[in-house]
Amino acid sequence: MTLSALLVCVDEAVAEVLRRVLEELSIDVESCPDFARAGIRLAQERFDVVIVDGESNAEVISLLRETRLSRLNDSTLAVAVVAGQETIREMFSLGVNFVLYKPVAYDRAVSSLRAARAVMRKEKRKSARASVHAHATVDYANVQQEKATLVDLAQEGMAVQFGKKLPPTSKVYFQFKLPGQSASIRLSGQVIWQDWKGRGGVQFVDVPKASRRLLTEFLSASLPAESQQERLPDVTVEMEEPLQLATVSVAEQTHGSQARENTAQETVVQKSAPAGQSNADNRRTQTRYACRLGAEVYRTGTSVPNHCCLTDLSSGGCYLEVSLPFPAGSSVEILVRTYEMKLRLRGAVQASHPGYGMGVAFELKTKEERENVKKLTDFVATTTDPS
């Protein structure tokens, strides 16, 4: 399985180091120091990773934004080479997966790009898409029952012809029937990219069990046999290690070796604790559910939303996957939407893992807040199994 990289780097010394590492990792490299030409190549060809290093952060951000709007490379792994942390938040908001700080050392580049390659291989196996033509109704913002057409479909997302531009990073709710099926599929997703023709890419956020079963049945019948076979090793063999590597790499690049040591210490503590043992920082005595719900988190007192994924839910708290988590001790508000409800929860950050996420303990001071948490856990309990 050949992987390809577009290296957009104006510093020849840095480019030489990165080319060397990519070639050692058996990744085909196309060097393109001209940013205008790089934008054209991203519109012409699909790459597994794009690595960007420019003379200014503005041109790096501009190319990353162009990449996310590209039909071919909207979900391509992105690596940014930066001199400091001034624009890190904006870069992560554009979907940057890894950050390399200057000066770029060979050893550090090897560590990060090896982790990136593991993620690329995992994503490449999952990228098989089935062409589909199906009509759907869409709800978003203050719009209901808008008509749209599905273009292609994968396990974790789809391309949709909306016919017009939706609000940026819009949360959307779909209902549709796939060819050959009589039951309707209902799910929610996040709009990841859009083009000027009204076409957009949607990443699934909340897919009920019944809808997931219908999606799987359709893809199993529509995709070639080799695509089905390729995905099996990704789940059974390769999934755990690449995710750990990617997490450690991002933490290391963002906050140095100390973050890596802290992450390693936390991992050792979690693995050594007996099953069911109570821990002040991790409420193991409460039933936890592995879930993935789209949410927004606000630092208390501000109106700036941070889009995140709510996971590992219990009656006492949850984990929020977000690139730039708030510091431990921060007071937060979480807004969660599903088909059936819209809930606002309050809590405090108990653990912060830069580049990955944060653990939040709920603050349940009123009857309404306790009922909201119960509604959410009941909803998740009906669609997932306890961890």
- Give the amino acid at 347: G
Place of tokens 């039933």: 287
Band of residue 50 on the pLDDT scale cut at 50, 70, 90: very high
Give the model's pLDDT for residue 224: 62
Q: How far apart are the first and last CA of the chain?
A: 34
> Helix (H) and strand (E) counts for the chain?
10, 17
d(CA 64, CA 38): 11
Please state the length of the chain: 387
**230 CB-contact burial (10 Å; exposed 0-12 / middle 13-18 / buried 19+):** middle
146 CB neighbour count, 10 Å cutoff: 15
Residue 151 CB contacts under 8 Å (≥ 6 apart), including other chains: 131, 132, 133, 158, 159, 160, 161, 199
Scanning 132-199, the segments in alpha helix (DSSP H) are none
128 CB neighbour count, 10 Å cutoff: 17
The alpha-carbon radius of gyration of the chain (Å, integer) is 21
> pTM value?
0.38
On average, the pLDDT of the chain sits at 76
For 353: left if phi > 0, alpha if psi spans -120 to 50, otherwise beta; the answer is beta
Average pLDDT over residues 120-124: 64
Give the model's pLDDT for residue 65: 85
- Give the amino acid at 350: Q
Band of residue 128 on the pLDDT scale cut at 50, 70, 90: low
The pLDDT tens digits for 158-208 are 889 998 888 765 688 999 999 999 999 999 888 877 777 788 888 888 889
- Give the amino acid at 68: R
Residue 150 CB contacts under 8 Å (≥ 6 apart), including other chains: 132, 133, 134, 135, 136, 158, 159, 160, 161, 176
Nearest to 254 by CA among 356, 349, 351: 356
The pLDDT tens digits for 240-259 are 223 333 333 333 333 333 33
Compute the half-sphere exposure of residue 293: CA atoms within 13 Å on the CB side of its CA: 29
Nearest to 6 by CA among 88, 77, 68: 77
Q: Residue 378 pLDDT more than 50?
A: yes
Q: Residue 276 pLDDT more than 60?
A: no
**Beta strands at 77-82 and 49-53: parallel, antiparallel or unpaired:** parallel
Positive or negative, the Cα torsion across 45, 50, 53, 54? Answer: positive
Tokens representing residue 113 in the block = 């790009």
Tokens representing residue 91 in the block = 């870069």
